[in-house]
Amino acid sequence: MRAATGERKGENGMSRVQERNQAIADALDKVRNIEAEQGVTRESLSNIRDVMVGLASQTDLFPPEDFPISKGGDGEAFEVLSVDDDGRFELYMEVADKHVTTPPHNHTTWAVVTGIRGLELNRIYEGDGGPMGEARPRVAQEIEVKKGAGVCMMPDDYHSIHIEPGEINMHLHLYGLGFAHLKGRKMYDESTGKYRSFDYTPEV
């Protein structure tokens, strides 16, 4: 497993980043065990979400100054916090202070998003995403991802993300398989009314 390293010693002799890495490692060990024992179901993903909400709630381990947005950037930044050597259990930090909206899309792997600060609105859709794109997605649920809350998605679930500027938004995104290994993802294109391939990968 690869993870970040850093400085500044705390009372326990560990730097904040070492403490963060340890908390991440402990949480992901629990996540791996849940998946191994329970498989990938809505119930198991809810259990994974609970673990990740617990991690994200340790806000002292995730201060904004450790994850700065580049002044010359576009108001959004991604950082890989951990990923297994085979690409499994990839954990991202997303930081944004800008208007963000994505089209409805799937991941082809399970996903869990939890809040550290700010608010990320997730819209969950109904729709088959069929090869001909017959079924227009319909909003089935809106979930506010913020501190103490999260959302979990099965591989074929469609969702969209919506963030407003004005405050630093920080969220943890955990994927069963990392972006570099995902194939066959789809998005719904409002301009054509069809589903099409979606090859987006965050710049880290």
pLDDT, tens digit, 9 for 90 and up, residues 98-144: 999 999 999 999 999 999 999 999 999 986 655 555 677 889 999 99
Whole-angstrom distance, CA of residue 107 vs CA of residue 105? 7
Total structural domains within the chain: 1
User: What is the pTM for the complete model shown?
Assistant: 0.88
- Does a structural domain hold residue 204? no
For the chain, strand residue ranges (E) read 2-3, 76-83, 88-96, 100-101, 111-117, 120-126, 138-145, 150-153, 158-163, 169-177, 186-189, 194-197
CA distances in angstroms from 63 to 57, 60, 77, 189, listed in the order given: 12, 6, 14, 36
Give, rounded to a whole angstrom, the gap between the first and last alpha carbons of the chain: 17
Residue 109 in contact with residue 156, Cβ under 8 Å? Answer: no
pLDDT of residue 93: 97
> Which band of pLDDT confidence, cut at 50, 70 and 90, is reported for residue 2?
very low
Among 8-22, 91-105, 149-163, whose mean pLDDT is lowest?
Answer: 8-22
Which residue segment(s) compose the domain that 38 sits in?
2-197
How many residues are recorded in the chain? 204
Burial label for 137, CB within 10 Å (0-12, 13-18, 19+), is buried
Whole-angstrom distance, CA of residue 84 vs CA of residue 68? 25
Residue 183 has pLDDT above 50, yes or no: yes
Span 66-73, average pLDDT? 82
pLDDT of residue 128: 60
In CATH, what number is assigned to the domain containing residue 90? 2.60.120.10
Q: How many CA atoms lie within 13 A of 8 on its CB side?
A: 7
Span 67-92, average pLDDT? 90
- Does a structural domain hold residue 203? no
- Does a structural domain hold residue 65? yes
User: E strand or H helix at 16, and its extent?
Assistant: helix 16-38
- Does a structural domain hold residue 193? yes
- Does a structural domain hold residue 142? yes
- Does a structural domain hold residue 44? yes
Whole-angstrom distance, CA of residue 46 vs CA of residue 26? 18
Q: In whole angstroms, how large is the CA radius of gyration of the chain? A: 17
> Which band of pLDDT confidence, cut at 50, 70 and 90, is reported for residue 202?
low
- Does a structural domain hold residue 19? yes
pLDDT of residue 194: 84
Residue 157 in contact with residue 166, Cβ under 8 Å? Answer: no
Whole-angstrom distance, CA of residue 95 vs CA of residue 89? 19
- Does a structural domain hold residue 98? yes
Three-class DSSP category at 130? coil
